[in-house]
Amino acid sequence: MVGNSRSVTSNQEDLHPALEATVRRHLIQPWRAPLADHDRAAFLRAREWVADRDRPLILDSGCGTGRSSVQLARRYPEALVLGLDQSAHRLARAPRRFDIPDNVLLLRTDCGGFWRLAEQAGWRPWRHYLLYPNPWPKSAHLKRRWHGHPVFPHLLALGGTLVLRTNWALYAREMAAALALAGRAATLGEPDVGASPLTDFEDKYRNSGQRLWELVAEAGPSTR
């Protein structure tokens, strides 16, 4: 894949000044927005698919065309991989591009709604991937980033090993700071350059010469 991707540009030069107050407010005030029927239907399908199979569960949230879900399923054949994305158009490209393994299910759903339903059902994924792009780089868009969104505590409550990748260092740093506010430590480094790119975005960013970042943390419910 030829790289022609621009680096992230933002009017924000450091951690958002409202990050701490926003995260702390979300940690103590439950998000009570109504859950959509399509998210409930997607979760019901996922629950039926997982059923009583005693296998580790991987969530690939924002999976796009499903490339990352397929690669994760091949990397961890002992696990079940749920790829979640809100775009039916992107998900429809998956069968045309990939041979979907039996341990993969791709679902159209809003990730935030699905996470809340999974938390309510007591799900505890083994690993949870948030792979590109979702930076929302304008300062005014803090609450659209996962760590600034009111769903953040529900993301934590699911637990498991959280793996986030981005081409915007500040986004990764903010996530690490938000996790610290919730009493969770994170390590920040770079993805293994010797490994195959997990997503089309990662492929494009690499070929454009951009530096990539990987955050890894044990999520778990807030301890503060």
Is there a domain that residue 134 lies in?
yes
Is there a domain that residue 31 lies in?
no
Rounded percentage of the chain residues whose pLDDT exceeds 90: 83
Is there a domain that residue 5 lies in?
no
Each residue of 19-52: pLDDT tens digit? 999 999 999 998 999 999 999 999 999 999 999 7
Residue 57's domain is classified under what CATH number? 3.40.50.150
Each residue of 130-171: pLDDT tens digit? 999 889 999 999 999 999 999 999 999 999 999 999 999 999
Is there a domain that residue 16 lies in?
no
Is there a domain that residue 209 lies in?
yes
State yes or no: pLDDT of 195 exceeds 50. yes
Q: How far apart are CA 84 and CA 60, in angstroms?
A: 6
Each residue of 71-86: pLDDT tens digit? 999 999 999 999 999 9
Question: b/e map of 186-213 (b: 16 or more CB within 10 Å)?
Answer: beeeebeeeeebbbbbbbbbbeeebebb
Q: How far apart are CA 224 and CA 222, in angstroms?
A: 6
Cα of 25 vs its chain's centroid, Å:
21
Q: Is 131 helix (H, G, I), strand (E, B) or coil?
A: strand
Is there a domain that residue 20 lies in?
no
Q: How far apart are CA 54 and CA 24, in angstroms?
A: 36
The pLDDT score that the predictor gives to residue 148 is: 97
Question: pLDDT grade, residue 6 (50/70/90)?
Answer: confident
Question: pLDDT grade, residue 224 (50/70/90)?
Answer: very low
The pLDDT score that the predictor gives to residue 95 is: 76
State yes or no: pLDDT of 222 exceeds 70. no
Rounded percentage of the chain residues whose pLDDT exceeds 70: 97
Each residue of 100-114: pLDDT tens digit? 999 999 999 999 999
Contact 141, 107 (CB under 8 A): no
What range defines the domain where residue 100 resides?
A: 37-218
Is there a domain that residue 114 lies in?
yes
Q: Which residue has the tokens 């935030």?
A: 112
Contact 213, 167 (CB under 8 A): yes
Q: Going by DSSP bridges, is the β-strand pair 127-131/57-61 parallel, antiparallel, or unpaired?
A: parallel
Is there a domain that residue 169 lies in?
yes
Q: How far apart are CA 183 and CA 176, in angstroms?
A: 10
Residue 161 β-bridge partners: 127, 218
The domain total for the chain is 1
